[in-house]
Amino acid sequence: MILDVAPDTDAHPQLGLLIATLEDSTREWRENLGRVSQAAVVWQPYENGPSIGGVILHLVDAETWWLRCVGAQEPDDATTPEAMYNRDMDLYKAYWPAPPRKPLSWYLDLLVERRAVNLDYIRSQAEAAEVISRGSKNAYTYRWIVAHLVEHDSYHGGQAVLLHEMFKRMRKLNR
């Protein structure tokens, strides 16, 4: 089997490679996550700790927020399930609310649906290195935003896999 991250040819070449890398990152952590029970999706290893469902909701919302709110300076849509969850959490205080009691498929379907829209959005960008957003401290290029999303996906996808492994081991210990 040949594994490759062939650039998305419908995007700017630099963004196309990042799109392929983002999709490969998600493929890898999803494969490693395996079959996950609904109990494991919402399990939190400690009070207000992360959960597989919470991590995926955070991933989905952060991707849209970076691309739309920072990249395109569009208003934040805080009415989606992922945005409502993310606005209640506080990464800096390690506070993760309990996620909705839904099967993993609900979370992954949300990721796939939002990702498709976000990838089309990335593909519509004509320039990768143009400064498109200036915050109070930093200025961002679209290339940096998409690279950050690749890193973010890999980081939190790995968290989801680790949480699943922890859940399985805790179940064995409690038998």
Structural domains of the chain sorted by starting position, each given as residue range(s) with its CATH number in brackets: 37-173 (1.20.120.450)
Look up the pTM and report it.
0.94
Q: Which of 8, 41, 7 lies closest to 111 in space, CA to CA?
A: 41
> What was the pLDDT predicted at 3?
83
The DSSP letter of residue 10 is T
Of 107, 97, 116, nearest to 49 by C-alpha is 97
Per-residue pLDDT of the chain (175 residues; tens, 9 = 90+): 888 899 999 999 999 999 999 999 999 999 999 999 999 999 999 999 999 999 999 999 999 999 998 888 889 889 999 999 999 999 888 899 999 999 999 999 999 999 999 999 999 998 888 888 777 788 889 999 999 999 999 999 999 999 999 999 998 888 6
**DSSP string spanning 25-64?**
HHHHHHHHH----HHHHH--SSTT---HHHHHHHHHHHHH
